[in-house]
Amino acid sequence: MGPGNDDVEDELGDDEFDDDEEELVHTSVWVEVNGLSLYTHHGVSAAEREFGQRLILDIRLELGEADATVTDRLEDTVDYARVCEVAALVATQRSDKTLERLCAAIADRLLRDFNVQAVYVKAAKPEPPIPLPVDDVSVEVLRELAEPDD
Active-site residue numbers?
A: 125
Q: Is residue 53 a contact partner of residue 87, using CB atoms and an 8 Å limit?
A: no
54 DSSP β-pair partners: 39
* Torsion (CA) 44, 139, 34, 56 in degrees, nearest 10: 20
Q: Give buried/exposed letters for 89-109 (b at 16+ CB in 10 A, else e).
A: ebbeeeebeebeebbbbbbeb
Sheet arrangement for strand 118-125: 29-40, 53-64, 118-125, 137-144
Phi, psi (degrees; rounded to nearest 5) at 2:
-90, 180
